[in-house]
Amino acid sequence: MGKRVYNFSAGPAMLPLEVLEASAKALVDYQGKGYGIAEISHRSKDFDAVMDETKSRARSLMGIPDGYDIVFSQGGASQLFITIPWNFLQGSADYVVTGEWAKKAAEAAKPYGTVNVLASSESTGFDRIPTGWKPSANASYFHICTNNTIYGTRWSTMPEHPVLFADMSSEFMARVVDVKKFALIYGGAQKNLGPSGVCMSIVRKDLYAKINKSVPKLFNYQVLAEQDSRINTPPTFGIYMLLETYRWIEKQGGIKAIEARNEEKAKLIYDAIDRAPDFYKGTVSDIPNRSRMNITFRLPNEALTDKFIKEAEKQGMTALKGYRTVGGIRASTYNAMPVEGCVALAKHMDEFHAANRT
């Protein structure tokens, strides 16, 4: 195998080498049985065991109480932007728009009822988490995106609401969350948990009573949960990779230890920005709500930005280009990014600043 680079991709993103190796082994020969994990029925005993262990490890890692189900689905978080209001929106729902994905989620809900956008930070380039909003009295639920992958903000304190729905795609299992404070948590796997093609939802069971009758079985959260995410063939290999990731998170000391490491990693890069404030400009003005997963900043001009990226690549650091509508640099430092990767990036930032400042 060639040398692994520090891959700062926003997603699909870097995964732990141990997870990749264990999954690759299982793909070729599952536990020495002469077949790979992707070659067996999703209703086989082997896969039943994979499903059970994946869910029980997720439960213990995140402290998911009995009153919640875990559902795996395909179609990406974007499909859940539709499935969720289809299931649970009756009348109206509240959304706070903190970035592109939160905005897409709010748009996708419109065919199902009234969407109240309580607040949006779009007019300031999504550089903050808006404040001063008030939930509506009769909304079916209140929806947030906890970490804004493109703009580099996060809800450092989660809002309180009896029916709180959260897209956690870009910080799933990257920080400790109190699941009891949420009615629904969901996200795509392809940043912190595994490959693209599989989503995980954590659903409070009392929501089932209200599911709209028009939802077909394949998209109905209650049926999905009752049939153990296997109404039809689920993304079996993707689910297997989640299991390997959960084993790995446990070996790291659990989510609390992962979160501490994520804090340390993000601080290395934010400190490098702060050491050269005339050269590197963070795109987020709301400092307490800066993301620990996606660190966004700009250099003085495009030419320097390109040079920064090219020189980083030569040193084994890839995928640092900011999102197309934002520009600049985005360093995504998900769970699998080692501390050394952030040390290397911070060093590159210092050296690049020293060599290129005017």
Active site residues per annotation:
101, 167, 191
Helices (H), the chain: 17-28, 45-62, 76-88, 100-109, 221-226, 236-251, 254-275, 302-314, 339-356
Going from the C-alpha of 334 to that of each of 28, 195, 259, the distances in angstroms are 27, 13, 10
d(CA 24, CA 259) in angstroms, rounded, equals 27
- Verify binding: residue 169, ligand PLP, rule CB under 6 A: yes
Using the minimum distance from each CB to ligand PLP, give the nearer residue, 78 or 136. Answer: 78
Sign, CA torsion 250/253/254/258: negative
Using the minimum distance from each CB to ligand PLP, give the nearer residue, 140 or 332. Answer: 332
Span from 75-83, 158-166, 279-287, 323-331 in contact with ligand PLP (CB under 6 A) = 75-83
CB of 224 to ligand PLP, least distance (A): 17
Using the minimum distance from each CB to ligand PLP, give the nearer residue, 144 or 329. Answer: 144
Query: What residues pair up with 298 in beta bridges, in sequence order?
Result: 281
d(CA 85, CA 194) in angstroms, rounded, equals 26
- Nearest CA to 55 out of 163, 201, 176, 252 is that of 201
- Verify binding: residue 94, ligand PLP, rule CB under 6 A: no
- Verify binding: residue 78, ligand PLP, rule CB under 6 A: yes
Going from the C-alpha of 219 to that of each of 56, 88, 90, 238, the distances in angstroms are 23, 12, 16, 19
Using the CB atoms, write b or e for 167-190: b if 16+ within 10 Å.
Answer: bbbbbbbbbebeeeebbbbbbbbb
Which of 69, 167, 244, 286 contacts ligand PLP by CB under 6 A? 167
d(CA 164, CA 199) in angstroms, rounded, equals 19
CB of 245 to ligand PLP, least distance (A): 16
Span from 74-82, 214-222, 298-306, 333-341 in contact with ligand PLP (CB under 6 A) = 74-82
Distance of CA 272 to the CA centre of its chain: 25
Which of 6, 8, 11, 64 contacts ligand PLP by CB under 6 A? 11
Which of 8, 30, 88, 101 contacts ligand PLP by CB under 6 A? 101
CB of 155 to ligand PLP, least distance (A): 12
- Verify binding: residue 212, ligand PLP, rule CB under 6 A: no
Report the run of H or E that residue 94 belongs to, with start and end. strand 92-97
Per-residue binding string, ligand PLP, 32-71, x by CB under 6 A, is ----------------------------------------
- Verify binding: residue 76, ligand PLP, rule CB under 6 A: yes
- Verify binding: residue 315, ligand PLP, rule CB under 6 A: no
- Scanning residues 174 to 203, which ones bind ligand PLP (CB under 6 A)? 188
The token duo for 79 is 């499909």
Interface size with ligand PLP, residues (CB under 6 A): 11
Decide: 155 and 143 in contact? Cβ < 8 Å: no
Span from 44-52, 165-173, 227-235, 347-355 in contact with ligand PLP (CB under 6 A) = 165-173
Using the minimum distance from each CB to ligand PLP, give the nearer residue, 54 or 147. Answer: 147
- Scanning residues 104 to 163, which ones bind ligand PLP (CB under 6 A)? 145, 149
Which residues would be at the binding site for ligand PLP (CB under 6 A)? 11, 76-78, 101, 145, 149, 167, 169-170, 188
